[in-house]
Structures are given as structure tokens and as C-alpha cells.
Amino acid sequence: MTLYLYNTLSRTKEAFVPLNPDHVGMYVCGPTVYDLAHIGNARPVIVFDVLYRLLKRRFKRVTYVRNITDVDDKINAAAKAEGVAIDVITARTAKAYHDDMAALGALPPDEEPRATQTIAEMIAMIETLIAKGHAYAAEGHVLFHVPSFAEYGRLSRHNQDELIAGARVEVAPFKRDPRDFVLWKPSDADLPGWDSPWGRGRPGWHIECSAMSKKYLGVTFDIHGGGRDLVFPHHENELAQSVCANAAPFVRYWVHNGFLTVEDEKMSKSLGNFRTVREELEKAPGEALRLAMLKTHYRQPLDWTDHGIAEAKADLDRFYGALKAMRSFEVLDPNDPANTGQVWSVQIVPPLDDDLNTPRAIAGLHTMARQAHRLIPRLEADIERLTESGQKVLRRADIEAVIASNEALGKPLMELLIRKNMMLHGGALLGILQNDPLHWFQGAMATITPIVRGVVSPVVTSSIDINAQIEARNAAKKARNFAEADRIRDELKAAGIVLEDRPGGKTEWRRA
């Protein structure tokens, strides 16, 4: 099986063949830390987290680099507005970013360089560009000279004339060409600055990614990711700088995620529909937000809605319901070659291999959940019998023994074991379904969801002894006192507790 990725450079899906078959390098543009991450910032993080997980599974070593931009005029403005030092803003925002992304289930990158710690490399790169005639200093600025790079515009498919014609930028008088962009700019005394051959100043926006990717991944590397809106000018400029400075190819696969709207509108502060990750986490567990994100293919436009969040939560309830019913089955080690044939179904990995088709992978999870739910009712008693003799886990080896003596019973048990593992390991690639199912339904994460359903959040009910109530209700049921049984159930429901009577007389509960 081969992984295919859509390469913005060629505008086609290409087979992914890394430069070094044992070591893949991936760079994704990270946040500018001046404010809380919004839900649009989260999309590339989640998308490339899935790609990272997929690459890690397939290649011996993956180095994932995601920068933090901690020098920027928006940061300067935020610091000024609050009357605090710049590093107060950047430290606080970076911390919040880490917390938020972790809540969304994103693995930390292998390297997270900061722009302010890569200044020397940026200056060196700018000097090289000047020496090679691709850049020039003027009035304390250094500018990249676009006409010096014939291929400029290839990534974004802008031709040079259109760029000039369409340019609405005020053209600074010291620019030799209106398209020339800043590599270095002077800083006043009250702005952050570093000494350089062109005086005290700070880097332009694009150079940092060129310098940081080179530092950690080399001049040529495999994957560069980011939002589609970064294609121009940011990635186009990065490409120009890096190719000209390094005299080497830059990125082999450019991967861009699509844009996001909120309730059908562009998210913007002026429309008042700006949603931070933090706000959304109040509505639903991060895992549900993550699934809501992955239910749309990464290159498609995504409309972020409360309804979508609720649907994703419902999907997870369904998946976790199946996993709960299969909780006594062994979790197989996917790295054990003996398991690979069983664990990896055609349902999850092939869709992801096809340019990260997460919606189809999720459809595969639904299929497995349905197949599991079909088998469970007629096996529940057997599962209980097999696990009650002190042994809590139903191992693969045990089931094989059952098959040897009773194929009709053992085979469906094995089917269930496989379904559980497919869901678990498929879910791991998507970054979901790794919680304990009981915790999912009964723990704290289950209680903060109702907002998106337009339902009043139930009162926290730690004072109610749920098990005692269930016992009382079952006693009433046995006495055929259904009025009392229903009263207890309604009382619990009002407190946010839903009861589910299992066949066999057991009653389970979950938070609504």
C-alpha cells in the first residue's frame, strides 16, 4: 500500500516517496502567539496530526517540526495594548496553545522552534541571498528581489504580470520591484530588535520558516503543510528564499488544508462569530471537536457548526457504546507482526492512504460498530460466562481455544475481538477512541456536552447514589411496581442520568 498526497505544486495526488525511506521530515506552519487559538487554527493542527500518526506508523522515523512565531507586529500591538512585556504575551499564549491543542488530542511535534531563537540563522540566510544577488538592502530594510527568481509564482499559479497588476500594496519607494518583499526591517527602540549587518531590526514574516525548516530538516525535505491561505504569499515567498539561498530543491510535497467557515459565515472578529478553541471546549469534549473536524475531508471547505459538534459527539457515543460492550476483549499489540493481518482492516488505513480520506475512515468505524452490535446480543451471556471465572480479559489465545472446541461460539467471539481492535487501532490513527468507554459515558467529560444540543445542562449529581437508585428501581420492577420504577428513572433523567436495561437484567447508566 502506498500513501498518496495531493501536492499543491502539481495539483494532483502523488504517491508519497520520501527522500530518505527511513526518515520523513514534515514542517507545518505554527501559530503566531498573540491571542488564543481559534477554531480555524485548529484545523491544520488536527489534519497534520493525523498525517503525522499515519507517517509514524509507516516509516521508521518521522521528524515533525511546527514553529512558534514569537516575533510579529501583532504581538507587539497586543503587548502595547495590555501594557506588558512582549514575552508575557508570547509565553502566556504559547502555553494556552499547547493546552488547547493537547485537549484536541494533537500529539506535540518533535521540534517546536521559536523564531526568536533562530535569528542568527535568518541573518545568515539573508546574507547569502544578498551575496547571490537575490536580495538587497535599502534604508535599513532588506528585500527579496522577486524578478531574480524566474520560477516565482509557480506554487500559487500566479503569473508575474497579474501580481503586479493586482497589487494593491502601497509600494515603498525603496522597492526595486513592487512584488519585492521584506526579509528584514528596522526596529525602533521600543520594538524588539536584534543587531544585524543592516542595523538593529527584526525579521520579516516569511524568512523564519525558511530558516527553521532548514535548521531542523535540511535544505530539501518531504512535506510542508499549512492552511490554503498560506499558499500566497507566505509559501511562495518561503520557496523563493529557500531555493535561492540553498541552491537546492525545497519542499517535495506541499499539502494545504481548506478554509473554515462558522455557521456559514467567514469567521471574523467584526462579525462577532470568532470562536476560540477554548470556547468550543466548553461545549463538548476535545475528542468530539476533533472528530467534527475530521468528518470533512481536509481539502474541502468546512462549515463549523454547533450541530456538527453535536453530531460528532453522537458518533463517538455510538463508537464508545460498541467498545464498552466489547470491553472484556484483549487489546492486541499492533506492532506484533502476528496481529497485523487481523488488526488492520481495509476499512481504515486504505482510505487514509488515499490523501487522508478521513470521512471514509470514519464510515469504516461505523461499519465496524454496526457489525459488533449485531454480534453482541447473542454473545453477551457467553462473554460473561467466560470472563466471570476471575479472568477479566478475554484473550485471543483463549478464544482460539474456544474455537477448537466450539467453532460456532468461538468464531463470532473472534470476530468481536477483531472488530474491537480495528476500532481501537483505527481510532488511534485518527486520534480518537482511546478513552476508557466507561469514563466516556460516566466521567466528567460526559457532563459538559448538552450545550450544543440546546438543552439545559443538568445539575451535577454527585450527591445521588446512582447504584442505589438503580437497585431500588430493579426491586420495584421485580415487584411489578412500574410506577415506582419509572419515577426513579425519571428522577435520574432529570439529574442527567440515563438508564439502559441490558438483556439479562443488568442496568447500565450514562450521562446524557
- What are 74's three cell numbers? 501583532
Range in contact with RNA (rule: CB under 7 A) among 14-22, 110-118, 308-316, 391-399: 308-316
Question: Considering the rule CB under 7 A, would residue 266 count as an interface residue with RNA?
Answer: yes
- 201 to 230, contacts with RNA by CB under 7 A? 205, 226-230
- Residues 431, 50 contacting (CB under 8 angstroms): yes
367 class by beta-carbon count within 10 Å (0-12 exposed, 13-18 middle, 19+ buried): middle
Which of 92, 324 has the CB closer to RNA? 324
Residues 365-394 binding RNA (CB under 7 A) are 366-367, 369-370, 373-374, 376-377
CA 425 distance to own-chain centroid: 17
Pick 360 or 411: Cβ nearer RNA: 360
The rounded distance, in Å, linking the Cα atoms of 273 and 500 is 38
Q: How far is the CB of 230 from RNA (least distance, A)?
A: 4
Q: Which one among 196, 210, 296, 469 touches RNA, defined by CB under 7 A?
A: 296
Query: Residue 457 is placed in which grid cell?
Result: 445542562
On the CB side of 431, how many CA atoms lie within 13 Å of its CA?
30
Crossing angle of helices 358-388 and 306-325, rounded to 10°: 30
The C-alpha cell that represents 2 in the structure block: 502506498
Q: Are 179 and 140 in contact (CB under 8 A)?
A: no
| Residue entry with cell 523564531 | 115
Site for RNA in 242-261 (CB under 7 A): 257-261
Q: How far is the CB of 131 from RNA (least distance, A)?
A: 25
Cβ of residue 501: shortest distance to RNA, in angstroms?
3
For RNA, which stretch binds (CB under 7 A), given 78-86, 238-246, 353-361, 395-403?
353-361
Q: At what angle do helices 236-246 and 207-217 cross, to 10 degrees?
A: 60
Sequence-separated (6 or more) residues with CB below 8 Å from residue 462: none
For RNA, the closer CB: 452 or 485: 485
DSSP 10: T
- Of residues 109-168, those binding RNA (CB under 7 A): 156-158, 162-163, 165-168
Nearer to RNA, 396 or 440 (CB): 440
Shortest spacing between CB 440 and RNA, in angstroms: 13
Q: Cα(33)–Cα(70) distance, rounded to whole angstroms?
A: 6
Grid cell in block for residue 362: 470514519
Cell of 272: 462577532
Q: What x/- string results for residues 44 through 83 when contact with RNA is judged by CB under 7 A?
A: x---------------------------x-x---------
Query: CA-CA distance, 418 to 420, in Å (whole number)?
Result: 5
Closest CB 336 distance from RNA, rounded Å: 29
Q: Three-state DSSP class for 326?
A: coil
Cβ neighbour number for residue 58 with a 10 Å cutoff: 16
Least CB distance from residue 363 to RNA, whole Å? 4
The footprint of RNA on this chain (CB under 7 A) covers a number of residues equal to 77
Which of the residues 12 through 41 are near RNA (CB under 7 A)? 29, 31-32, 40-41
Q: Which residue reads 466507561 in cell numbers? A: 438
Asked if residue 201 lies in contact with residue 140, where contact means CB atoms within 8 angstroms, the answer is yes
Give, as ranges, the residues between 482 and 511 that touch RNA (CB under 7 A). Answer: 482, 485-486, 489, 498-503
Fill in the amino acid letter for 343. V
Q: How far is the CB of 68 from RNA (least distance, A)?
A: 11
DSSP readout, 191-236?
S--B--TTSSEEE-TTHHHHHHHHHHH-SSEEEEEEEGGGIIIIIH
Single out the residue of 193, 218, 350, 359 in contact with RNA (rule: CB under 7 A): 359
Residue numbers 426-465 binding RNA by CB under 7 A: none
* Nearer Cβ to RNA (276/357): 357
Based on CB atoms, which residue is closest to RNA, 129 or 260?
260
Which residue lies nearer to RNA by CB, 139 or 162? Answer: 162
Decide whether 68 or 399 has the Cβ nearer to RNA.
Answer: 68
Tell the smallest beta-carbon distance from residue 333 to RNA (Å). 28
Strand partners, 141: 138
Q: Which is nearer to RNA, 175 or 396 (CB)?
A: 175
Q: Between residues 7 and 156, which has the closer beta carbon with respect to RNA?
A: 156
Q: List Cβ<8 Å contacts ≥24 apart for 373-377.
A: 373/321, 373/322, 373/325, 375/412, 375/415, 375/416, 375/419, 376/322, 376/325, 376/326, 376/416, 377/503
In whole angstroms, the minimum distance from the beta carbon of 20 to RNA comes to: 27
Which residue stretch of 76-84, 99-107, 297-305, 381-389 sits at the interface with RNA (rule: CB under 7 A)? 297-305
Closest approach of Cβ 481 to RNA, in Å?
Answer: 9
* One-letter amino acid for residue 353 of the chain: D
C-beta of residue 216 within 8 angstroms of C-beta of residue 65: yes
Q: Which residue has the cell 462569530?
A: 273
Q: Name the minimum Å distance from CB 329 to RNA.
A: 17
Q: By CB under 7 A, is residue 347 in contact with RNA?
A: no
Site string for RNA, 310-329 (x = CB under 7 A): -x--xx-xx--x--------
Among 357, 387, 447, 461, binds RNA (CB under 7 A): 357
Min separation Cβ 21 and RNA, Å: 27
Is 92 near RNA (CB under 7 A)?
A: no
